[in-house]
A and B are shown apart, each in its own frame.
Chain A
């Protein structure tokens, strides 16, 4: 946030990104040649922001996340990290990119290998990138377990996913994402499979991490209220287009696009006034 460099380039930029899928012919469907998951989207995320991407299923929000972590490559358009393009990265430079950009997956019951202990899962990124020797790695994992609130860390170190609850597993997923000290984390609906009382605790963890490490997040969700709670900026995505981007306050209280307005209008809400505490 230096005043000496007012035209600071954003941490993540997507310019004109399009993603097409050519599905295999299905038995009953009418002939479809291409599915346009993303249609020339632009996105700009500053360092230290929690940026929300709000859309319903099929809107392209998950695809956006996957493109950013290079699980897939865009059909056209470019993606930049700190100004450098990442589209064509291969081999060692792709691996280096991976140490800077990580992901928290949606399903805590599927995103951890059931055969690996918690420590093995969190160690993997360190091992793959050859960071530190065995005891340094162990220290790092224990430290990370404490950051995500899985204490006593020695105890959780040796446990297996099936011994953990959904919320605890998600914390392991967070630990795995932060262990490499990345610059940017894509959180793909990290709480949609958790109870509300547990989800909100996970949100607190994410904001704590942002504060502690000046971490940048892309928070993908279908829940506008969650984005409202967590995010600094929100982009609303619908059928592969970004229909509106603005600060959270403006999106919620001064929406411009009809789709945004509709989303706000249908939020189930109830207001009986009164205390909650």
Chain B
């Protein structure tokens, strides 16, 4: 049974130019044991998606349609009081640059305690102490440093505290939104390894959002590639990264720089920032796509199954068909 089941979700922002669809009719399912990665660049909607899953959309954003099935509830229907019971307890989030979210005048352990006690006010002092120790051990922060202030911690340690706070109440689902973007490469490596270990040890569902495809590939099993508010390709990481179908996925992979892929770097000719005001159902990538035909401009891209798990959203037959180009 899927832990999280999203169907036809659409989220819009009210602006003076009209409604901007940041997320346009997306559907996917999350299995507990298979971390799911969302990869895409600015304007793709992945951060909006993350915020929606925590009920943290700003005032001018609205869920325009669709459902979010989680633990026999539809999260799109929750009011703020109901969200408060879910947030932190059942679904927890690790934000980008979350280390700036720590209160500078409060000791670190007190902040984690606060996270626990908010959702478990009746916890006994003994249990609380055990839990704190457990958490700090889990994120590999020495117990001797538990009573320090945030500014005495390095960036990596602060991020680990944030992870500890997210795990404090044994959530069923963790949403990590660019958790390592602000960290050094060496620290990032450690944190990513820890996230993987923790996810497996605690058997939580994990949604990992990032613009960095390698980071997503190192943590997740399944991938959703997002562009302009739509999921344009999805599948296992092997399928999506080794045999990408959608032109955007290919552009993303072609722009990726690693230490050994000089030859396969392809410079895309893309304009920045997708146009989110296009009418629903039209292909948002068309303006950048070299294969864009007249059919693409007027047609509605549809889902084509490449395999049981690999799907791509496109109008073009050569892309969706099983034939090679």
Interface residues of A (CB under 8 A from B): 28-29, 56-57, 165-168, 195-201, 204, 222-226, 228-229, 252, 262-264, 266-277
User: In the bound complex, what is the Cα–Cα distance between A272 and B267 (angstroms)?
Assistant: 20
Which residues from chain B sit less than 8 Å from chain A, CB to CB?
41-42, 149, 151, 155, 184-186, 188-189, 192, 211-215, 217-218, 237-238, 241-244, 250-260, 262, 264-270, 272-273
**Interchain CB contact under 8 A, A268 and B41:** no
Task: Closest A residue to B187 by CB, please name it.
Answer: A56
Closest residue to A201 on the B side, CB-wise?
B267
Contact B185 A197 (CB under 8 A): no
Closest B residue to A193 using CB positions: B42
A196 contact from B149, B237, B256, Cβ within 8 A: B256
Bound-complex Cα distance A29 to B152 (A): 8
Question: In the complex, A91→B185 CA distance in Å?
Answer: 41
CB of A272 within 8 A of CB of B242, answer: yes
Q: List 21 A-B contacts (CB under 8 A).
A: A56-B184, A56-B186, A57-B184, A165-B273, A196-B211, A196-B213, A196-B255, A198-B41, A201-B269, A224-B185, A228-B259, A263-B185, A264-B259, A266-B185, A268-B185, A268-B189, A268-B192, A270-B213, A270-B237, A276-B264, A276-B266
On chain A, the residues within 8 Å of B266 by CB distance are 276-277
Contact, CB under 8 Å: A228 / B212 = no
Say yes or no: A197 contacts B252, CB within 8 Å: yes
Chain A residues, Cβ within 8 Å of B238: 272
Given contacts A223-B257, A276-B250, A277-B254, 4 further A-B contacts (CB under 8 A): A196-B257, A222-B184, A222-B185, A267-B258
CB pair A276 B186 closer than 8 Å: no
Q: Which 5 A-B pairs have the closest CB atoms?
A: A272-B242, A268-B214, A274-B242, A195-B41, A266-B189
Kindly state the separation between the CA atoms of A13 and B257 in the bound complex, as whole angstroms. Answer: 29
Q: Which residues of A contact B213 (CB under 8 A)?
A: 196, 270
Known: A56-B186, A268-B214. A197 touches B270 (CB 8 A): yes
Contacts of A199 in B (CB 8 A): 255
Chain B minimum-CB-distance residue to A54? B185
B284 to nearest A CB, angstroms? 14
Minimum CB–CB distance from B248 to chain A (whole Å) comes to 9
CB distance from B186 to the nearest CB of A (A): 5
A269 touches B242 (CB 8 A): no
Min CB distance B219 to A, Å, is: 10
Q: How far is the CA of A63 from the CA of B13 in the complex (A)?
A: 41
Contacting residues, chain A, for B268 (C-beta < 8 A): 197, 200-201
Q: Is A225's CB under 8 angstroms from B257's CB?
A: yes
Checking A28, A168, A197, A204 against B251 with a beta-carbon cut-off of 8 angstroms, the contacting residue is: A197
* Chain A nearest Cβ from B66, distance in angstroms: 27
> How many Å lie between the Cα of A272 and that of B213 in the bound state?
13
Chain B residues whose CB sits within 8 angstroms of the CB of A196 once the complex forms: 41, 211-213, 252, 255-257
Cβ contacts under 8 Å, B251 to chain A: 197
Contact partner, A195, options B186, B211, B244, Cβ 8 Å:
B211
A228 vs B218: C-alpha distance when bound (angstroms): 21
- B262 touching A228, Cβ below 8 Å: yes
A225, B184: Cβ atoms closer than 8 Å: no
- A212 to B56 Cα, complex, angstroms: 50
- Give which listed residue, B214, B243, B273, contacts A270 with CB less than 8 A: B214
Cα distance, A224 to B214, chains bound together (Å): 14
CB <8 Å contact, A268 and B273: no
Docked pose: A201 CA to B266 CA in angstroms? 10
Cβ contact within 8 Å between A268 and B267: no
Say yes or no: A229 contacts B272, CB within 8 Å: no
Nearest CB in chain A to that of B257: its residue: A225
From B184, B214, B253, contact of A269 by CB (8 A): B214
Measured in the bound complex, the distance between the Cα atoms of B132 and A164 in whole Å is: 48
- A276 near B254 (CB under 8 angstroms)? yes
CA A262 – CA B264 in complex, angstroms? 25
Contact, CB under 8 Å: A267 / B259:
yes
A276 to B265, CA, bound (A): 8
Contact B272 A226 (CB under 8 A): no
Q: Give Cα A277–Cα B151 distance, bound, in whole angstroms.
A: 46
Complex CA gap A92/B254 in Å reads: 47
Min Cβ gap A271→B in Å is 8
The CA-CA distance from A277 to B256 in the complex, in Å, is: 12
A57: B residues at CB distance < 8 A: 155, 184
Q: Which residues of A lie under 8 Å from residue B250 when comparing CB positions?
A: 276-277
When distances are taken between beta carbons in the complex, the residues of chain B under 8 Å from A269 are 214, 258-260
A165 to B243, CA, bound (A): 31
Smallest CB–CB gap between B240 and chain A, Å?
9
Asked if B41 and A197 sit within 8 Å, CB to CB, the answer is: yes
Task: Report chain B residues within 8 Å CB of A276.
Answer: 244, 250, 253-254, 264, 266
Q: How far is the CA of A126 from the CA of B251 in the complex (A)?
A: 38
Which of chain A's residues has its CB closest to B268's CB?
A197
A57 CB → nearest B CB, Å: 6
Q: Which residues of B contact A229 (CB under 8 A)?
A: 257, 262, 265
**In whole angstroms, how far apart are the Cα atoms of A266 and B253 in the complex?**
19
- Max chain B C-beta neighbours (<10 A), residue from A28, A29, A198: A198
Which residues of chain B come closer than 8 Å to A225, judged between CB atoms?
A: 257-259
How far, in angstroms, from A269 to B316 measured CA to CA in the complex? 31
A residues near B192, Cβ cutoff 8 Å:
268
Determine the residue in chain A with the shortest Cβ distance to B189.
Answer: A266
Q: Are A266 and B186 in contact (CB under 8 A)?
A: yes
**Closest Cβ neighbor of B238 among chain A residues:** A272
